[in-house]
Structure 1
Amino acid sequence: MSDPRVSLPSRTAVLVIGGGPSGIVALKYALETLQYEPGEEPVLVESEPELGGTFRWRSYENAELVSSKQLTCFSDFRYPLTAPDHPSLPNFVQYLESYVDEFKLRDRIHLCAQVVKLDKSTDASDEYSHKATVRNTNPAALNDVAPVHIAAKRVVITTGLHVTPNIPAIPGLNAAPLSDPPIAWIHSSSYQERSQLKDKRVLVLGAGETGMDVGYESVLAPAAKVWLGVRNGFLSFPKVLNNFRILGSTFDGALPIDGLITNLFEDAYVHPWVAASHLRWFVSDFVIRRVMWLLTGTTAGCNQWAGELPPERQGRAYVFLNKSGKAMQFINRPYQAMSAFHKFFFHYIDPPLPDGVHDPTIHAVPFPQRFENGTAIFNPPPAHRAKETAWKTECNPDLVVLCTGYRQDWEWLGAGYPQGPDACDVRGVCASSDPSVAFIGFLRPGVGAIPPMSEMQAQFFFLLTTGKIPVPATDEHYHLLHAKEGRIQYGVDFSSYMSQLARDMGSAPSLWSLVTQHGWFVTFVYCFGAAFPTFYRLVGPYRSSAAPGIVRTELYDTIRRRGVVGNLFMGVIPMLFYAVINLVALVIDVLWTLAAPILGAPPHSVFATSPAMPKAANGKAQPKAKGD
């Protein structure tokens, strides 16, 4: 563990705050792309004694990535083809450590070094205007160790979404009046292993991926009884497509779902009117829900019979898919109602029940209003979940696990700084008023992974802050359509966001450039592949000589594994459909542009977005589309 009194410089070209994947990749690009004086090299400070961020410090027994290795790892340092599609969290932490060693970042990383205050100089001529106060968090350090002060030209904040536990106040549990007898409770950040749940009556509050994991682990512990408190609902979809029985044959392709969306006409060559309308999202939602009904008997999610969202908010346009699907067989048991006729043709095959399970049911209940005498008191669930009746029976847990997420704390940011990424109006990365401060890794994809988004954000920021690209003038259409009352407003569509940043940077390849520079095979993989970050290093300012080889091997493998039928339904048919939609929009655009001067009308007004536009992450209405 390094001592910031000794090893931290007094000034630096870039100060990266946070040692998770976002900070590590930001440091790598800072060292590779910026010019700086000797002794002012970019540095990273991390308050913990080891790197890894949430993947190390929020890990628990049996935790795995819910995004695939193909989409989660960085563009130029890949997992081997033989590795599991969804590595364990300790394995991913080891991947990050190997990344640090591969790119020789270790000497620029300072552990046990926490930024407790960041102030901005009032001297307009001060090039190193960011003044950071860094505290030594090494437990072995003396209490009287003085903080270290660093002056930075640029600051990259990568402290992550999972920082301070979000603990709702629930009367009778952790707020007055407390229940008698008191009920034990923990936040999911304190959950480590299955043994904590064994033989207990467990109430899990929160139906995100962590909540689903803890519910599943409770059944297998085994717990005496398990309830799952669902506030609004969730959308379940397995992280891999397999275990479908179709016309007598079992499909067990084990295809990661985050690699199934194709590029051509969904992210590349999309007319701005089509992007602004979010037509691609609504059409895919409509089709996927019907396919899910055909295969599993329900449209609420993939083999999801309880805890569903309202029908009008089910789909990729609105929510984060819950890809921790192992618990669904236990949640479904009281509600599954597929007819024998339907099941004869299509159905989802649940894995066999583990040995030693006392009660193979997770009882879905609403979020508790309060606790009285050790018993949860519920309001009835919303109307669309009226079939859920477990809340009417006694729910008397002896352990409550709050899987209620996290919040961010920005009190350490001084005056003049954006108070978090919601105040960043430039692609959610920085504020146009000060492009020397970046927030990287704070947007969350509906389907996809944060690390490759952080890599693209770092690329974008260092081009922007050095004046190599202008502040983007085109509008964004990548934010999920959040409910206004939702706690989380930072969701984005992964592929839309990645392709937008690529266009901003000049890294989005045209089909002509792909064919002429890399050949037809790479072009084919790009069209049929998902928004892998390596695609955006085939051309442009971050062009990599390793990218074509990765595309021809690993990324082609994601397409090969779909098979002929899979590529027909997941590739060819969607491409043809969206090609027609985009072509029609283009024709209307051209005709209207030609006719507008004659008619005395402003160009592009035909498909202008309406006043009732969806909100962006900062809560402001998205402006009218000007083009992508």
Structure 2
Amino acid sequence: MNDKCRRLHIGIIGCGCSGLVTLKELLDEGHECTVFEKSNCVGGLYREAYQQGIFVSSHILTMFGDFVGKDENILEEPRMLSFIEYSEYLNDYAENFHLKKYIEFNTEVKSLWKDYSNNKWNILLNNSQNIYSFDRIAICCGIFGNKNVPLFQNQDLFQGKIKHLKDIKHYEDFTNKSICIVGSGESASDMILAAAQYGKKAFLSIRNDHGFLIPRYIHGNQYGPADLDTSRAHHSIPRAWGILHTYIDMINSLIKSYIKCFIYQKGHSTEYDLIRRKGIYMNLKQIRTSNIWTTYGTKNSNLVEALIKYKDKCSRKPGIKELRKNSIIFNDNTEEFVDEIICCTGFQNSFPFIELSSDADQDLKAIVNQSKISHNLYKHCYHPDLGDEIVWIGFARPALGAIPPLIELQARYFALLCSNKLKLPNKTDMNKQISKYVKYLEWQLTPYRVNRLTNLTDYLIYTDDLARIIGCRPNFTKIFFTEPKLWMKLMFGPLLNAQYRLVGPHAKPKQAKEIILKAKWVIQPNILYFIMLIIYAFFWLVFRIESCKPAAWYPL
């Protein structure tokens, strides 16, 4: 075997979006792969979720960099896909790149362990006694597999039902019930609106601040998804100026809303206008503790709609103090009678094929237990004690942005490591970089959020960081002088992963340019962001004021 360009046999656990793109990138590098998927189809998770579910990021931001899908108009008329539509996109992705022949469906991994006699990783399946041996393992089972359900005081006294988000299949299940939704993320926002629409009473329990509220669509569906302003200009704003940026952004949105009302609607505000303004005021109310850069985004204003449209039967409550037989006592000592509590409280990382395996040694089990805290892995992917022998792909979540683009870059990095075209830092350097990275996250997102949401990261800083390592981050200065139209779309258009296919390994420059130039963009807010960015950059470049250093311009 040529050590300069290895060809390895790699086992992939899970075949959602993480497993699929990992398989595709490894095959592009010439590796031999087998994927183990416990369900009977591609995208099984999205088929299992509540069927009225809709993504909170547009397909433009969510899609992989080299595959748009079958909808030829989606770039010019972007929208959020339903969970079912996204599972179909993943199936089309698998068909387009001929991936299905490498996938073993209905195969759940029972055990994973290392055979030190031949330095191979062994996998045993639940439905077979055959042992599969691999050079490397990619764990791609995702962050949405295992429920995180809190324990409430006096929970054993409560005679109603306590469910997790994952237990909900249809909104109609809330009909004629009094429901308490716990949480303020995007799924909680969906659930509280459904509970208000179908139920008798609906309560939204939020312990502290809610996420930064952003509607799915700007001024209604006809203007396109709100994340069209998730641009490089926007996300290069220095993080230290989050409060000022939030004020400017929210005031700009309010001014546009009122101008639209008075000029185009003859002074009449639509229901959407009222919901949008209420969300802005809710963001401003907690700006000192949760601004646009210091918290996660709730890219779904359904919770605002529920509180406004159904105010007679829907209300916000603080955290839960204790449960009684048929009621909840909240932290403000108010009592409400409920039939069900729906916990939209996230998920826990769990790897039972190692944790419960009788074949795995204790050192491996300890490493896997540490790896549940995603940001304690190098680039959210590699444990320093294992190097690139096992990779965790799909366990990083951007505070604002979509998960699949992060996954694609993680997969490309891993594929190049397997081929020996790139190398990981040594163990000492990895630990130093992990420590530095976590301190940065705590500075930006606060220790409270980083310790609670251990997979949280910053979208552009993280993707640019991986792109620099891979060698696929474009030279924006060069593009400015040689292709100004492309530069405009790269700076002011949405952050498509196609930008990382312009150069570098497995680049597809012609296809990437077509995608970038065709994609819809919104100009006004991004011009505002660019003016702000120029001002910050001036103070950084001339006076070296560290807080004005543009984000992602330099390696972390």
The normalised TM-score by structure 1 is: 0.73
1:64 has 2:54 as partner = yes
- What is residue 201 of structure 2 aligned with on the other side? 225
Taking the aligned partners of 1:62 and 1:207, their CA distance within structure 2 comes to 18
Find 2:30's aligned residue among 13, 27, 34: 34
Structure with greater proportional helix content: 2
Residues paired across the two proteins, number: 500
Find 2:151's aligned residue among 169, 188, 192: 169
Taking the aligned partners of 2:222 and 2:105, their CA distance within structure 1 comes to 42
1:254 has 2:216 as partner = no
1:256 Cα offset (Å): 2.6
Change (3 A) 1:320 1:551: same
1:461 has 2:455 as partner = no
Taking the aligned partners of 2:191 and 2:538, their CA distance within structure 1 comes to 45
Amino acid at match of 1:330: A
1:17-59 residue CA offsets vs partner (Å, 9 max, x unmatched) = 1111011100110111134xxxxx20111112222143222x2
Taking the aligned partners of 1:96 and 1:131, their CA distance within structure 2 comes to 28
1:178-214 residue CA offsets vs partner (Å, 9 max, x unmatched) = 23xx112322111111221111111112222111111
1:533-559 residue CA offsets vs partner (Å, 9 max, x unmatched) = 1001101113114212212212xx22x
1:231 touches 1:367 (CA, 8 Å); kept in 2? yes
Change (3 A) 1:524 1:290: closer
* 1:320-469 matched pairs, under 5 angstroms: 320-331=296-307, 333=308, 360-380=312-332, 392=334, 394-413=335-354, 414=360, 415-416=363-364, 417-419=367-369, 420=371, 422=373, 424-433=376-385, 434-469=387-422
1:450 Cα offset (Å): 0.7
Taking the aligned partners of 2:165 and 2:234, their CA distance within structure 1 comes to 40
SS of equivalent to 2:288 = helix
- Unaligned runs of 5+ residues in structure 1 are 1-10, 36-40, 137-145, 244-251, 334-352, 381-390, 589-605, 609-624
- What is residue 75 of structure 1 aligned with on the other side? 65
1:261-281 residue CA offsets vs partner (Å, 9 max, x unmatched) = 4325955xx9xxx6xxx3364
1:204 touches 1:228 (CA, 8 Å); kept in 2? yes
1:219 touches 1:360 (CA, 8 Å); kept in 2? no
SS of equivalent to 2:528 = helix
Q: Select between 455-464 and 309-318 the one with higher mean Cα deviation.
A: 309-318
Change (3 A) 1:121 1:581: farther
SS of equivalent to 1:192 = coil
Find 1:147's aligned residue among 129, 147, 162: 129
- What is residue 270 of structure 2 aligned with on the other side? none
Taking the aligned partners of 2:226 and 2:499, their CA distance within structure 1 comes to 18
1:202 touches 1:398 (CA, 8 Å); kept in 2? yes
* 1:485-496 matched pairs, under 5 angstroms: 486-496=451-461
2:46 touches 2:86 (CA, 8 Å); kept in 1? yes
Taking the aligned partners of 1:582 and 1:470, their CA distance within structure 2 comes to 33
- What is residue 88 of structure 1 aligned with on the other side? 82
Taking the aligned partners of 2:257 and 2:207, their CA distance within structure 1 comes to 24
Change (3 A) 1:17 1:531: same
Taking the aligned partners of 2:453 and 2:526, their CA distance within structure 1 comes to 34
- What is residue 500 of structure 1 aligned with on the other side? 465
1:543-590 residue CA offsets vs partner (Å, 9 max, x unmatched) = 114212212212xx22xxx24x344324x42342243144236xx4xx
2:350 touches 2:372 (CA, 8 Å); kept in 1? no
- What is residue 474 of structure 2 aligned with on the other side? 509
2:36 touches 2:108 (CA, 8 Å); kept in 1? yes
- What is residue 535 of structure 2 aligned with on the other side? 577
Taking the aligned partners of 1:193 and 1:440, their CA distance within structure 2 comes to 30
2:381 touches 2:393 (CA, 8 Å); kept in 1? yes
Q: Select between 441-450 and 185-194 the one with higher mean Cα deviation.
A: 185-194
1:446 touches 1:492 (CA, 8 Å); kept in 2? yes
2:231 touches 2:526 (CA, 8 Å); kept in 1? no
- What is residue 187 of structure 1 aligned with on the other side? 164
Find 1:122's aligned residue among 104, 107, 116: 116
1:319 touches 1:446 (CA, 8 Å); kept in 2? yes
1:524 has 2:475 as partner = no
Change (3 A) 1:577 1:488: same
1:288 has 2:252 as partner = no
1:607 Cα offset (Å): 5.6
Query: Does 1 or 2 have the higher relative contact order (CA < 8 Å, sep 6+)?
Result: 2
1:258 touches 1:447 (CA, 8 Å); kept in 2? no
SS of equivalent to 1:186 = strand
1:96 Cα offset (Å): 0.5
Find 1:44's aligned residue among 11, 30, 35: 35
Taking the aligned partners of 2:257 and 2:290, their CA distance within structure 1 comes to 16
Taking the aligned partners of 1:12 and 1:511, their CA distance within structure 2 comes to 35
Amino acid at match of 1:30: L
1:230 touches 1:307 (CA, 8 Å); kept in 2? no
Taking the aligned partners of 2:506 and 2:380, their CA distance within structure 1 comes to 21
1:515 Cα offset (Å): 5.7
2:165 touches 2:343 (CA, 8 Å); kept in 1? yes
Amino acid at match of 1:26: T
2:243 touches 2:287 (CA, 8 Å); kept in 1? no
1:534 has 2:498 as partner = yes
1:301 touches 1:308 (CA, 8 Å); kept in 2? no
Larger radius of gyration: 1
Taking the aligned partners of 2:10 and 2:135, their CA distance within structure 1 comes to 6
- What is residue 232 of structure 2 aligned with on the other side? 263
Taking the aligned partners of 2:45 and 2:330, their CA distance within structure 1 comes to 32
2:242 touches 2:294 (CA, 8 Å); kept in 1? no
SS of equivalent to 1:240 = coil
- What is residue 124 of structure 2 aligned with on the other side? 133
1:71 Cα offset (Å): 0.3
Amino acid at match of 1:527: M
Taking the aligned partners of 1:309 and 1:148, their CA distance within structure 2 comes to 59
